[in-house]
Amino acid sequence: MKIDAADFASRIETYQQRVDASLERWLPGAEVHPQRLHRAMRYAVLAPGKRVRPILVYATAATLDVDLARVDGAAAAAEIIHAYSLIHDDLPAMDDDDLRRGRPTCHREFDEATAILAGDALQALAFYILSHDPAMTGSARARLQMIEKLALFSGSRGMAGGQAIDLAAVGRTLNVAELETMHIHKTGALIRTCVQLAALSAPRLGKKRFRALDSYAKCIGLSFQVMDDILDVVGNTATLGKTQGADSARDKPTYPSIIGLDASWEKARELHNGALQALSIFGEEADVLRYISAWFVERKS
């Protein structure tokens, strides 16, 4: 279906509401024992984030004509892994941030030990959902592949590995290739997983379309982070909901600090073009994914 900007905006809203309902179904209630831990998990996950990762799961499923009910669990699992990574990233041992999604970070609102546990428990919950959600798939093989993808891309060879590279890079000079490796792991891997989880829900997808979607995901995973680096320089704290300038204050290598602001914008545009190119084998059904790529490089938060 051909969509315009207004359709896209309404789809984003629908997907955000849809994943919020799914998250509410999977998260333990605030009154469930141990209440403090469950309150911290809910605080971090249900805070007003953009829900970019679930949006990608739903948009990919819609492109492939997969019933969205089949990916509600995958969408929630991706957002839950993301929320755990933000909690841990904000801890004093890592970035030591006070503000996230416009609110005090989890360890500021609760305490450090509770925040660590909330992150741990969220990570486990994401895998519980993928292994348990009855609506997801009838195929045990597809379910296992989804669990495998999420484990691989969020672990030491994906997001957590990227975070390790990031921590080791503070105060050091990286070249562009090293910076790209860090970003591909830290941010790109989970974004790539989202597209793959939805693709694995589509029976008879075929290697060609799977690869095309994966190359799209690689481009937008990196463009998202290039923009994150740019926004750290040109954004503002109120719109971002997190501390603007935090990366440069910590002397972190970023695209603007290594190649400059203009070249960083250019890089984001090139990646957007690469994403569109990757989708060229699809017709109008992939328009929502094209809009997502444009959104990533135009976003202000």
**Binding interface with ligand GRG (CB under 6 A):** 49-50, 52, 82, 85-86, 88-89, 101, 159-160, 163, 186-187, 225, 228
Which residue, among 88, 62, 20, has the nearest Cα to 282 in the 3D structure?
Answer: 62
CB of 25 to ligand GRG, least distance (A): 19
Nearer to ligand GRG among residue 202 and residue 232 (C-beta): 232
CB of 140 to ligand GRG, least distance (A): 28
Nearer to ligand GRG among residue 175 and residue 239 (C-beta): 239
Bridge partner list, 100: 103
Question: What b/e string do you get for 125-163 counting C-beta neighbours within 10 Å, with b at 16 or more?
Answer: bbbebbeebeebbeeeebbebbbebbeebbeeebbbbbb
Nearer to ligand GRG among residue 26 and residue 224 (C-beta): 224
Which residue, among 110, 100, 89, has the nearest Cα to 243 in the 3D structure?
Answer: 100
CB of 129 to ligand GRG, least distance (A): 18
> What is residue 69's DSSP assignment?
G
Backbone φ and ψ of 179, nearest 5°: -60, -40
Distance between CA 155 and CA 157 in Å, rounded? 5
Nearer to ligand GRG among residue 168 and residue 281 (C-beta): 168
Residues 6 or more apart whose CB falls under 8 angstroms from that of 123 comprise 80, 81, 84, 154
Distance between CA 292 and CA 192 in Å, rounded? 14
Nearer to ligand GRG among residue 72 and residue 89 (C-beta): 89
CB of 11 to ligand GRG, least distance (A): 17
CB of 299 to ligand GRG, least distance (A): 8
Nearer to ligand GRG among residue 88 and residue 218 (C-beta): 88
Bridge partner list, 99: 104
CB of 241 to ligand GRG, least distance (A): 6
CB of 281 to ligand GRG, least distance (A): 28
Residue type, 233: V
Q: Tell me the residue number closest to ligand GRG, measured at CB.
A: 49
Torsional sign, CA 172, 170, 81, 288: negative
Bridge partner list, 103: 100
Nearer to ligand GRG among residue 89 and residue 287 (C-beta): 89
- 121: which 2 tokens? 């428990």
